[in-house]
Chain A
Amino acid sequence: MAAAAELTLLEKSLGLSKGNKYSAQGERQIPVLQTNNGPSLTGLTTIAAHLVKQANKEYLLGSTAEEKAIVQQWLEYRVTRVDGHSSKDDIHALLKDLNSYLEDKVYLTGYNFTLADILLYYGLHRFIILEKFIHGF
C-alpha cells in the first residue's frame, strides 16, 4: 500500500505523533483517511494537505495566493502525470519538462520549500533511483 506508506512518512516528517490508519480504495488503491470529526477524506494530496494543517504548518501550502495555487498545481501534477504514466517515453518527457522548469528555481514555488516538493520527490523517487533516467539531467 504505497500511498499509505507515503502518508505515514509525511506524518513523521511533519512531527505528527499519533499515526493515522489508512485504508485503500479501488484498483488504484487511493488512500482514505477516516477522521475523528467528520467524514472520511479520500485522495493522496487531499489527505496530505489536511495533515499539514493538522501539524500547524500551513506555510507548506504556500503563503500568497500565487504560491497556494502553484503548490496545488504541482500536487495535481503529481497525482495525474507522475502517477498516471509508466511508459518510458512518458517518464522521459515528464523529467525533461521538470528539469527545464527547475532550471532557474530552488523549489517548485521558487524559493520556498512546500508540500509540492515533498510529494513530487516521493513520486519521482521510484523513477530517479533507476539510474538510467538521470542520465542527461
Chain B
Amino acid sequence: MRLFVSEGAPGSLPVLAAARRAQGRAELLISTVGPEECVVPFLTQPKVPVLQLDNGNYLFSTSAICRYFFLLSGWEQDDLTNQWLEWEATELQPALSAALYYLVVQGKKGEDVLGPVRRALTHIDHSLSRRSCPFLAGETESLADIVLWGALYPLLQDPAYLPEELGALHSWFQTVSSQEPCQRAAETVLKQQGVLALRPYLQKQPQPSSLQGRAVSNEPEEEELATLSEEEIAMAVTAWEKGLGNLPPLRPPQNPVLPVAGERNVLITSALPYVNNVPHLGNIIGCVLSADVFARYSRLRQWNTLYLCGTDEYGTATETKAMEEGLTPQEICDKYHAIHADIYRWFNISFDIFGRTTTPQQTKITQDIFQRLFSRGFVLQDTVEQLRCEQCARFLADRFVEGVCPFCGYEEARGDQCDKCGKLINATELKKPQCKVCRSCPVVKSSQHLFLDLPKLEKRLEEWLENTLPGSDWTPNARFIIRSWLRDGLKPRCITRDLKWGTPVPLEGFEDKVFYVWFDATIGYLSITANYTDQWERWWKNPEQVSLYQFMAKDNVPFHGLVFPCSALGAEDNYTLVSHLIATEYLNYEDGKFSKSRGVGVFGDMAQDTGIPADIWRFYLLYIRPEGQDSAFSWTDMLLKNNSELLNNLGNFINRAGMFVSKFFGGYVPEMVLTSDDQRLLAHVTLELQHYHQLLEKVRIRDALRSILTISRHGNQYIQVNEPWKRIKGSEADRQRAGTVTGLAVNIAALLSVMLQPYMPTVSATIQAQLQLPPPACGILLTNFLCTLPAGHLIGTVSPLFQKLENDQIESLRQRFGGGQAKVSSKPAVGETVTATGPQQIQVLMDEVTKQGNIVRELKAQKADKNQVAAEVAKLLDLKKQLALAEGKPLETPKGKKKK
C-alpha cells in the first residue's frame, strides 16, 4: 500500500502516528505530493493524506486511514471509538479548521483563535474528567486518542491555546504527545517550526466553509432533550392550574429608580458611543441592544432596574469635526447626540437615561476622583515626549498618528493601539510616524503630564478580581483579556492631554490641559446618573446592594475591567465596581468589515430606510449576536431567518392559535381538559422556559432566543398532530379535544409574547393586544408556565405578525449597502482617509478576485439564472473595488452599473 502525504498537511500527523501500528503487517510506501495534486481519481478536489490500498481502492479520510492501521494491528472496533471519530469529523474538524485558518492564514491571535474551538475543547475535557479514564476510550491509548491528538496537536502544542482550566485535557494531551510515534510524527510534520509549518499548505486550501457557515448560523451549545419525570409533570400541572392567581402584583413605576435595600438592584450600562460617529449594526448589537434585552428581561423579573447610556463627547475627534463643519465642539455634540438618540429610539432601546459626558457633573465627579487619587499618591508627574505636527500647529492625539507598529511591524498601526497585534502603543514609539491629517512627519516635543500609577494599584486590583470573578458572569473573552494584561504587568498610563475640549485638570501648571478619555469616559456613567438623580451615589457608592452589569464590545474591556476599577479602588470612596462584564466579539458585514469610509454595511440611521421594521432588525441581530465568537451579518441569512423562524415558525404558530379561538370558539378561550399528552407538553414548555431563564440570568442572550423558537416549534407540532380544525367538525369528544388543544396553544402563544418582550417589544405588545392578555401577565415572567388566558377569556382581533421578505427586495438592499455604490470618492471623512494596505491583505484580495472571476465565468458559461449572475458580478465588482482601495489606486466607476 502507498501513503500519499503533502508538506504541512495537518492530516499527516495522526496518520503517521498510527502507521507505526501497522509496521511489520504490511509494506508501506510513502510518497510526498504537492498540495494541489489530485491523487484520488474520482475526487474533484485534491485531498491528502490518501492511502492507496493493495486492491487499488483509496482511503481518503484521515480517520479511516488511521482506523485501517489499527485494524491491521488486530484492534477491534467499538461504539465509544466510533462515537469519538464521528464527533471529531462533524464537530471538532469544522471548529478546528476555522481556528487554524485564523491562526495560520490570517495571523490572528488569542481569543479570535481560541473562540471557535473552546466548546469542543471543553467537551473533551468534560468527557475525560467525567469518565475519569486517562484515555478517551478507556485505560489504554487507542485509535480515538491518536485521531483527536493529531487533529489538535498543531493548535495545542502552543501552550497559549491550551486553556489552563481544562486540566483533564491538559494531562491527556501531554501523555499522548509524549508517546514515541506521536513525537516522531510531530517532528516530521511540523519540523520544529510549530504551527507555521502548516502555512504553505493551508494557504492553498479554500477558506473553511465552517468559517462562514458557523459564524452565520451561530449554533447554540448542545442541549440534550431531557426526559421528563412524573414529578416534573405534576409540578408543571399544579403551576398551570393556579393561573393568574400565581402572579405577584406589578411593581409600580418609580421615578427616579433608586436601589431598595433587600431587593435585587440591577444597574446596567452600555458602552458610551463616541459622539461623532454614526453607530453601525455591529456597534448596536455589541452594547446598546444587548444591554436593552437584559434590562427588559430584568424588569420582567421585577428586579429593580436602572439602564443608562449616553454619548461620549470629549476629545480631539470632536474638535476636528467641529473645525470641519464650522461649528463649535458643543454644537457638534448637540447635533450628533440628537442623531444617536434618534437611532436608539427607533430601535426601541429602553434607556432610563440617555445622557452625555459634557456636563458640570462630569467635571465635578472626575475632578473629585482625581483629587482623591492625587492626595493618596496614585498620580505621577512626568515629562512626555510628544508628537507635534508643525504643519497643523498642534500636538497630535494618539489616534491622529499612524505608523509602523514597533511590536509586529504592521504598517498601519494607530498611535494608541495596533489593530493587528492588539498591543497598546505610545505614539512616540511608532516607527515612521505620520500625521493622519496632512501626512507630514511630526516632531517630538516635550510636555508635562500626569500618570495614573497602575503598578501601585495592581495588587488591589488583583484582590478585587479574585473576589469578583469566581461565580460571576464575566464573559470568557473579558477574563482572557484582563488576565493577559495582568500577566504582562501594568504600566503607568498618561491621563492628561494637550487639548481644550475635555474635563479640565484641577492642578496648578496644568490649566491648559484636559483629562484623557481613558481616564474620564468611564466616569461618564456616574455623571450621567448624577444628571438623572441627585441621589446617584445610592447606585454608584453602594457595592453591597447593587449588581453592576456593563455591556461592551471586547475592545473596551481594559477600560472597564482594569483602568476604571483601579481609579475607583485608589480613590477609596466605596465605589460600585462591575460585577458582570459582558463583552461581545465582533460582528462582520457579509464577508468583510463594516466601513464607514468605504460605504460598506448598514449604519443605524439607514436601517429605518430599508422598510424593514425595527423588531425584525432586533431579532436578526440578536439571533447572530457575536456571543463567544465573531459572527457575520448576511442579507440572505436575514431573509432566511425572517421567513423560516419568524414567519413560518413563530408567527405561524401564534397566528393559528389565535385564529382557532376566533373562528371556532367565537373569540372565547374554550374549556381545557388536559390529557396526559397535554400535561407532558406543559412540562416540556416549562422546562424550556426554565432553560430560557437560566440562559438570560447568565446573559446568554443569543442562546435564550433559541428557547423561544423551540417552544413555538413544540406548539406547531402540537397543533399539527392534534388537528383541531378537523376535530371541531367531529363528535362531542372531538370538539372538546379541539377546545383543549386550542386553549393550550393560545396560552403558549401568550407565554411566548412575554418571553419575546426583551427581544421584540413591539411584536410582543401586538400579540398581547390581539390576545387581550391581562396587564400583570404582560409585565411579569415567572419561572413557571401559567394559564394566563383562562376558559371564557375574550381575545381581540387576530392578524398576521410578520411579512415575508422577498429575494429581490433583499438583493436590492444588498446592492445598496454592499459597498457597490460608494459615496467615498467625493469626500472621505477626516480620520478615515483611504490608505494603502499591507501586501498580505492585497494578496488575499487578489486571490479572491481571481476566485470570484472564475465563479462568474463558470456561471455565464452555464447560462445560469440572470439574477444569480448579477449577484455574483456585484460581488466581483465589490472585491475589485476593495482591491483598488487596498492598493491605494483611484476608484473607477464600474461601467454599466446603475447609480442609486
Contact = CB atoms under 8 A, between A and B. Distances in A.
B65 interface: yes
Contacts, number: 108
Given A27-B217, A69-B64, A80-B89, A32 B71 contact: no
A76 B220 contact: no
A97 B224 CA distance: 35
9 contacts: A24-B225, A25-B223, A42-B86, A42-B87, A43-B82, A43-B90, A44-B86, A61-B77, A75-B86
A66 B70 CA distance: 11
B460 to A, nearest CB: 43
Contacts of B463: none
B83 interface: yes
A41 B71 contact: no
Interface residues of A, number: 39
A44 B85 CA distance: 12
Contact of B55 (A66, A72, A73): A66
B254 interface: no
Question: 10 tightest CB-CB pairs across the interface, nearest first?
Answer: A73-B64, A69-B68, A65-B71, A43-B86, A101-B42, A26-B222, A23-B225, A100-B42, A27-B219, A46-B83
B227 interface: yes
B227 A28 contact: no
Interface of B: 41-45, 53, 55, 57, 59-61, 63-65, 67-68, 71-72, 77, 79, 82-83, 85-87, 89-90, 93, 209, 217, 219-225, 227, 706
B209 to A, nearest CB: 8
Contacts of A49: 77, 79, 82
A45 B224 contact: no
Contacts of A80: 89-90, 93
Contact of B57 (A25, A66, A68, A97): A66
Contacts of A69: 59, 64-65, 67-68, 71
B53 A66 contact: yes
Given A26-B221, A41-B79, A110 B42 contact: no
A79 interface: yes
Given A73-B60, A97-B42, A66 B79 contact: no
A25 B59 contact: no
B223 A76 contact: no
Contacts of B53: 66
Given A41-B79, A65-B71, A65-B72, A76 B55 contact: no
B220 A27 contact: yes
Contacts of A66: 53, 55, 57, 68
Q: Which of B55, B77, B87, B217 has the most CB of A within 10 A?
A: B77
A121 interface: no
A68 B67 contact: yes
B62 to A, nearest CB: 9
Contacts of A16: none
A45 B89 CA distance: 11
Contacts of B41: 100
B61 A43 contact: no
Contacts of B79: 41, 46, 49-50
Contacts of A68: 67-68, 71, 77
A65 B44 CA distance: 27
B270 to A, nearest CB: 29
Q: Which of B43, B219, B225, B227 has the most CB of A within 10 A?
A: B225
Contacts of A24: 225
Nearest to B64: A73
A77 B61 contact: yes
Given A43-B87, A65-B68, A65-B71, A93 B44 contact: yes
Given A25-B222, A65-B71, A69-B65, A76 B83 contact: no
Interface string A50-75: 10000000000100011011101101
A110 B225 CA distance: 39
Nearest to B76: A68
Nearest to A94: B44
Given A26-B221, A27-B220, A45-B82, A97 B64 contact: no
B83 A32 contact: no
Contacts of B87: 42-43
Contacts of A84: 90, 209
A45 B366 CA distance: 63
A12 interface: no
A79 B86 CA distance: 8
Nearest to B220: A27
Given A26-B221, A65-B71, A70 B59 contact: yes
Contacts of A93: 44-45
Q: Which of A25, A73, A110 has the most CB of B within 10 A?
A: A73
A79 B82 CA distance: 13
A72 B220 contact: no
Contacts of A73: 59-61, 63-64
Given A46-B79, A76-B61, A96 B44 contact: yes
Nearest to B210: A84
A23 B225 CA distance: 6
Contacts of B45: 93
Contact of B224 (A23, A50, A76): A23
Nearest to A103: B42
Contacts of A70: 57, 59, 64
